[in-house]
Structure 1
Amino acid sequence: MLPTLTLTALAVLPVVQGAPFTSSPAHLYKRCGPVGQFYNQKTSDWDDKKTGNWLDNWWNANGDLMSGSSAGFAGAFGQWAMGNPDWTCRDDGSDSDCDLQLCDNRVLNDRGDDIRPAYYVLESVNRLHMYFKGIGEAFTVSALDAALSKDSWATTFYKDKDDKSVTALKEVLNAVATVVGIGAAFAGLAGPEAAAVAGAESALLAGAVGAANLAVGEHQDDTFEKSADLGKILGSVVTDSLKSFTSANNDLMSGKTYDDDDIRAYISGGAFLAYPGVDKNAVTDAMTNMLEGIAINQLYRTQKIFVMGGAACGDAQGIGGGPWEASVCRDGKAWYLYYWQENDVISTTSHQWGWVASPPGADQLGKNEFSGVKIEDIINSSLDAYNVAGYDYTAEKGSERASDALSNSWANPGSQGASWEGIFTVPVCDIGGAVDADYQLKDYILQPYGHDSRPVWCGPICGGDLQKTKDFINAANMGGFKSPKHLCDQDPGY
């Protein structure tokens, strides 16, 4: 007599181990009954067979069954579809409360036309439960904690008179919630079929952002008296948010809403119908790179660090030349990352005006502990943020844009890591218009790095617009700073 086969034996393990299940549907049919012909399903099968509509109808018709079950939706559906009222799928430490015993299951195999949609729902709920358990492990692995718990944040990426007290770092918490949401959505993204499951991905993002905001609220009074505190607090916010987000599993399984969505939104489009499990390494890497990015960005935003460019790649065009080692050529235009180093010694020479140099810590990016954050990430992320919201790309805007990217499938934020729009918001100045402008000493607008490199800006260099230039000067912490205009015959007005 053949043994009873579980879902794990038939579907999940072959996917996780990378060995496809080769038995034909006909063979499965003989071994498991009618339900066997629906194994080896694809994400698209959910919508193709109108499973969402079927589930809505079942939900509306079985309210009494759900309210009468101690396990809510999962218990009621488990009883109806498998004859198992103890199918709870709760996250309570049990390894068997969401198991599927489907082969030769008489209850399911007697459901006629309802066998396929019932199986698709059972499979999706089971794998959603697997997702919640996997993402909790991915977010709390020691690698993430080690990546953030550094004692050299400020001394590496911050250069000022006092590198031990950077209270403005507190603002970094406002971006953490969105990063947690992006990580959660990335863990559930269905690869090439992402567009089909956009609704589910949006629900994952919103749920995780809501959970993270609760954790952020508990840390709003934390202080950053030492640079080491930054990583500790970031790590705490992430792990604390997951305590709340993983509890969402229990609410959803019982039929309750979480952040305004019930389980139907989370499994919509077949998002979890063929879900292979959380790629923990990929999620941990994406989260680490994004969190490192927003931490570095916050340090950079307190200094005279900016992105400048907009002229042709590889051609000075009469406006000078920037540092090629910190540049990106994008859509035929070159962009450079700058740090205006103020003079750190008493001087009566031209050095009193300072010079342009590589930003603090930039030489550490792209390798070792910061291998996932590169200079080109800073430039591209900042350009994208600037193109969307100028110098006012807020945490709220970041959350809105990430949700829109997933809902409308125009980007996968998690896969972009530290280069994702808004991870960096370094101020941008587009000087492309200066090529044809008649500015004094305009061939010194761009300069390479060096102790003798002092750019000269004798006009409204940003977009040829005085107000834009003023806004840039202020955003780059150079308000009242005379260095860029110390050789101009007339004050350029900014």
Structure 2
Amino acid sequence: MLPTIALAALALAPAVQAVPHHKRIEPITSPHGVYKRCGAVSRYYGQHTADWDTYQTGDWLNNWWNSHSSLMGNNTGGFSGAFGQWAMGNPDWSCRDDGSDSDCDLSLCDNRVLNNRGQDIRNTYYILESVNRLHTYFIGIGEAFTTAALGAALSKDSWATTFYTDKDDKSVTALKEALNAVATIVGIGASFAGLAGPLTGAVAGAGSALMGGANGATSSIVGQHTDDSFQKSADLGGLLGTIVTDSLKSFTTANNQLMGGQSYSNADIRTYISGGAFLEYEGVDKNAVTDAMTNMLIGTSVNQLYRTQKVFVMGGGACGDNQGIGSGPQEAVVCRDGKAWYLYYWQENDVISTTSHQWGWVASPPGADSLGQSEYSGVTVEDIINSSLDAYNVAGYGYNADTAKSRAEDAITNAWANPGSEGAAWEGIFTIPVCDIGAAVDADYQDKEYILQPYGHDSRPVWCGAICGGDAQKTKDFISAANMDGFESPKHLCDQDPGY
């Protein structure tokens, strides 16, 4: 019979939380709430991410790593095999991605080796749990990314017929720029899959490793497609899907190298599980990751098509307008911080005319009416405006693939945003040129009441002045970014050349 004190201690122990389905740990409570004799390790089930740092698990792992280099070197499984041997008496705990369903299982109840580790039991269990769940992450992300690749291959040749009406076919070669963004998007998806909740400083190092590893894995695959040419009828979605699918081979390599104790993309497994990032990890939310990845890939592709045409964002006046600078299209508006922003496309006249129609008019961008529904349901006009505004506020008209990469890495590393959770609205997925006309409210511009116009065949804006920020150079830069250099339409009624 157990001593009274021991029975009391067991009765007061915390209730056991459910464990993920991938684990095979025996239940340790009876219907009466009394612990089954699972051993001391059962005290640490139901752990929290914060416990990792509270009990200095990172430092403990570093000390173990440095003290057991020979054990790691002699075990064919490297780190995971050596740690499994030391912690559980299982030298075959390789956690490799080799098709096995059981090579990373945890069967800890009544494990005599683990329960005889004394003061090391807690940290040992935290490491075992984190490694197990990191392995689950790699398995799950492979499935999610495969689905995302299929989702990206949506449109076949409808990319052109839906989102492109420009008369200059050669400009579609700019779609090759879409490739430069793919690695960053895959990196964002990988981080989102591992850290789907709000990012915190404690797990930022792990998030950075997840993104960096995925980015590196995909970059090499993207490089193999640098000579692919895009024509208007190119199957852009299929190509992007192929790149994402091919990158999965590198994720398998990442899992195996990390489990073996090697570095992958300049980080070993200690960084990947740092901060307790995987201590409470419940597996990849495949639907969420698939949606985020697909929407970002679609958004990037639409952005590149729009960037070859006269598509722009204009606003900066009060929400609701009525400030003497005209009124924009209410079907394509975002109100942010008390200011209204509109998405525009300058439709050039497509018929011979000697009337004012020869100057064209403002309309909804090609395909915008398809967004937010059906195969494009995860990308909206509001996403285009918000993403473009955020990109403009960071880098003006110079936001490029390098900026996107560094900003996403900074957001994850310093835990100020989780890009994956924002999907197509994330900064830089869209980089549509922005013109802030707020300064025009108090300016004395000719016909300034026509700066903003609703959509329509009779809507022909008039821009007689430095309309963007009240600055001539900013206005020139906007005109150039919006593909309107040498374009007379917005100034054809001006008594004097406005200087752009």
Runs of 4+ deviating beyond 4 Å: 26-29, 162-165
Q: Which residue of 2 aligns with 1:138?
A: 144
Q: Is 1:55 the equivalent of 2:78?
A: no
Once the two structures are superposed, what CA deviation does each residue of 1:135-155 show, in whole Å capped at 9, x if it has no partner?
000010277346535320011
Instruction: Kindly report which structure 2 residues correspond to 1:24-423, keeping only aligned pairs within 5 A, or say none.
Output: 30-141=36-147, 144-145=150-151, 147-161=153-167, 166-189=172-195, 191-192=197-198, 194-423=200-429
The 3 A distance-change label for structure 1 pair 149 and 337 is: closer
Q: Is 1:13 the equivalent of 2:21?
A: yes
Q: Distance in 1 between matches of 2:448 and 2:457?
A: 20
Q: Distance in 2 between matches of 1:168 and 1:190?
A: 33
Once the two structures are superposed, what CA deviation does each residue of 1:270-306 show, in whole Å capped at 9, x if it has no partner?
1111110000000000001110000000000000000
The 3 A distance-change label for structure 1 pair 387 and 23 is: farther
**Quick one: which amino acid aligns to residue 71 of structure 2?**
L
Once the two structures are superposed, what CA deviation does each residue of 1:145-192 show, in whole Å capped at 9, x if it has no partner?
465353200110000236698221111000111110010000111524
Contact in 2 for aligned 1:190/1:275 (Cα 8 Å): no
Aligned alpha-carbon RMSD (Å): 2.0
2:446 to 436, 440, 443: 440
The SS at the match of 2:379 is coil
Deviation at 1:14, TM superposition (A): 9.1
The 3 A distance-change label for structure 1 pair 319 and 165 is: closer
Q: Distance in 1 between matches of 2:326 and 2:157?
A: 39
Deviation at 1:28, TM superposition (A): 8.2
The SS at the match of 1:334 is strand
Once the two structures are superposed, what CA deviation does each residue of 1:220-270 show, in whole Å capped at 9, x if it has no partner?
111113434211110011111122123100010001111100001100111
Gaps of 5+ in 1: 1-8
The 3 A distance-change label for structure 1 pair 142 and 431 is: closer
Task: Please identify, of 164-173 and 63-72, the stretch whose mean Cα deviation from structure 2 is larger.
Answer: 164-173
Q: Distance in 2 between matches of 1:85 and 1:78?
A: 6
Q: Distance in 2 between matches of 1:255 and 1:381?
A: 39
Instruction: Kindly report which structure 2 residues correspond to 1:454-493, keeping only aligned pairs within 5 A, or say none.
Output: 454-493=460-499
The 3 A distance-change label for structure 1 pair 28 and 78 is: farther
Q: Distance in 2 between matches of 1:44 and 1:76?
A: 26
Once the two structures are superposed, what CA deviation does each residue of 1:207-232 show, in whole Å capped at 9, x if it has no partner?
11111111100111111134342111
Q: Distance in 2 between matches of 1:348 and 1:413?
A: 49
1:452 to 452, 458, 467: 458
Task: Please identify, of 294-303 and 188-197, the stretch whose mean Cα deviation from structure 2 is larger.
Answer: 188-197
Q: Distance in 1 between matches of 2:443 and 2:93?
A: 72
Q: Which residue of 1 aligns with 2:7?
A: none
The SS at the match of 1:191 is coil
**Quick one: which amino acid aligns to residue 415 of structure 2?**
S
Aligned residues: 481
TM-score computed with the length of structure 1 as normaliser = 0.94
The 3 A distance-change label for structure 1 pair 359 and 15 is: farther
The 3 A distance-change label for structure 1 pair 423 and 265 is: same
Gaps of 5+ in 2: 1-16
Deviation at 1:96, TM superposition (A): 1.1
